[in-house]
């Protein structure tokens, strides 16, 4: 039955009731009052549903508050729950894992999430009362090539560059490394690329023998966060000489391939706070922008990163931008990683 049919039947019943009421000598005013009193007791399904949803939400909030008070504020209850729950933690995780196996079997690409330290980055993360002394009196990025660096200096957070006297890394070197280890790269880090070239769906599209020529305005940012490909890529980009072998390097790293006219972008964030950028070949202009917590105390600092130079900074104080170098004609190959000192 359509809405028009329902309204037509309603009006027929309505007129019939009014006609019978008049036969019983009711006035029009009395008939209208009877209808209004009857409608006051009618509840629409929408209002009823809304009332039920409101009650459910309030109940959940109330239960959550009670649980929070009992587990985090009332110490005797918290201790009792912890003592009794601990024995169920590992069996519970085992049950969850077994329940997840069919899902992983249907969507094997989800296994890549195992290696993620953070699935969703908090865009509103902000450090309150951050001491900005490492960047307050920095007016330029100093060149420390040839100097002996100790822990106290590069742990201070002051940015610097150093020529590590390493071999240059060109686009052809990346192609050769990929061709020699394509199985490992395709299994462990194929899809983790960002590019403005829609034909680059995975790293195999980029690093193949037919793609030696890289367009001037193209960029490809290749992210690696697994141990096997990370070990291989370190053949081209070994650990900087001034960093101690005992420091903890993050597995996550990026290989940035930029044409001489590719657009600018912000360097990625990392788990470890000390970040280094190795310029394998080509040139990029890096702008060290002070973080929001330090922008009132620290200034922006530009530097041109030349081949074989390494830029060192702390992302607590700096959020660098990478821009194409003026008058550059070569493809830029950069390698970015981080250390937890």
Residue-wise pLDDT for 74-96, tens only, equals: 778 777 777 777 777 788 888 88
Report DSSP letters for 73-109, one per residue.
Answer: I-HHHHHHHHHHHHHHHHHHHHHHHHHHHHHHHH-GG
| CB-CB contact of 230 with 251 (8 Å) | yes
3-state secondary structure of 166: coil
Predicted confidence (pLDDT) at residue 325 exceeds the cutoff of 70? yes
pLDDT given for residue 40 in this prediction: 62
Residue pLDDT, tens place only, 226-265: 889 999 999 999 988 888 777 777 888 999 999 999 999 9
331 pLDDT more than 80: yes
pLDDT recorded at residue 318: 92
- pLDDT, position 211: 55
Model pTM?
A: 0.69
> Rounded to whole angstroms, how far apart are CA atoms 134 and 154?
11
Sequence-ordered alpha helix ranges (H) in the chain: 3-23, 28-40, 45-68, 75-106, 133-136, 151-154, 171-180, 182-188, 203-206, 227-233
Spatial CA neighbour of 257 closest among 309, 164, 324: 324
Domain boundaries, the chain: 3-40, 133-340
Burial profile 5-41: b = 16 or more Cβ within 10 angstroms, e = fewer: eeeeeeeeeeeeebeebeeeeeeeeebeeeeeeeeee
Helix (H, G, I), strand (E, B) or coil at 258: strand
pLDDT of residue 86: 75
Across all residues in the chain, what is the average pLDDT?
83
Residue 322: C-alpha distances to residues 167, 273, 312 (Å): 22, 18, 14
- Quick one: pLDDT at residue 314? 92
Lowest-confidence segment of 15-29, 136-150, 316-330 by average pLDDT: 15-29
Higher pLDDT, 80 or 171: 171
Is residue 335 predicted with pLDDT exceeding 80?
yes
Give the full edge-to-edge strand order of the sheet including 265-266.
265-266, 318-324, 284-290, 301-305
Q: What pLDDT, on a 0 to 100 scale, did the predictor assign at position 282? A: 93
Task: Give the span between the Cα atoms of 11 and 24, in whole angstroms.
Answer: 20
- pLDDT given at position 41: 61
| Non-local CB neighbours of 254 within 8 Å, separated by 6+ positions | 221, 222, 223, 224, 268, 334, 335, 336, 337
Pairing mode, strands 160-163 and 142-143: parallel
Region 122-138: what's the mean pLDDT? 82
CA torsion 226→229→234→239, rounded to 10°?
Answer: 0
What is the Cα–Cα distance from 335 to 271, expressed in whole angstroms?
A: 16
CA separation for the pair 282, 333 (Å, rounded): 6
> CB under 8 Å to 277, separation ≥6 — which residues?
267, 286, 305, 310, 311, 320, 334, 335, 336
Domain 133-340 has CATH 3.30.300.180: no
d(CA 262, CA 196): 9
């Amino acid at each position: 039955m359509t809405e028009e049919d329902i309204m037509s039947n309603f009006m027929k019943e309505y007129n019939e009731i009014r006609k019978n009421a008049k036969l019983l000598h009711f006035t029009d005013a009395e008939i209208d009052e009877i209808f209004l009193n009857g409608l006051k007791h009618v509840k629409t399904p929408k209002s009823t549903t809304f009332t039920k949803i409101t009650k459910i939400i309030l109940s959940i909030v109330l239960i959550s508050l009670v649980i929070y008070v009992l587990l985090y504020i009332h110490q005797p209850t918290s201790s009792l729950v912890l003592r009794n729950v601990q024995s169920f933690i590992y069996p519970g995780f085992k049950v969850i894992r077994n329940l997840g196996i069919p899902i992983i079997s249907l969507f094997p690409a989800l296994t890549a999430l195992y290696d993620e330290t953070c699935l969703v980055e908090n865009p509103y993360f902000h450090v309150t009362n951050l001491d900005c002394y490492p960047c307050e009196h920095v007016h330029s990025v100093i060149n420390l090539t040839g100097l002996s660096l100790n822990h106290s200096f590069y742990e201070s957070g002051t940015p610097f560059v150093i020529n590590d006297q390493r071999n240059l890394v060109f686009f052809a070197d990346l192609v050769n490394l990929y061709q020699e280890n394509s199985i490992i790269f395709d299994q462990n880090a194929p899809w983790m690329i960002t590019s403005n070239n829609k034909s680059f769906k995975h790293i195999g599209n980029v690093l193949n023998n037919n793609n030696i020529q890289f367009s001037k305005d193209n960029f490809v940012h290749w992210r690696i966060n697994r141990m096997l490909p990370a070990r291989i890529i370190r053949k081209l980009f070994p650990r900087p000489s001034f960093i101690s072998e005992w420091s903890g390097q993050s597995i996550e790293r990026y290989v940035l391939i930029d044409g001489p006219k590719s657009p600018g972008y912000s360097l990625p964030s990392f788990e470890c706070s000390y970040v280094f950028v190795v310029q394998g070949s080509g040139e990029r202009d890096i702008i060290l922008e002070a973080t929001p917590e330090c922008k009132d105390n620290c200034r922006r600092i530009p530097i041109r990163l030349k081949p074989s130079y390494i830029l060192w900074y702390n992302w607590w104080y700096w959020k660098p931008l990478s821009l194409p170098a003026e008058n550059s004609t070569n493809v830029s190959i950069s390698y970015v990683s981080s250390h937890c000192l």
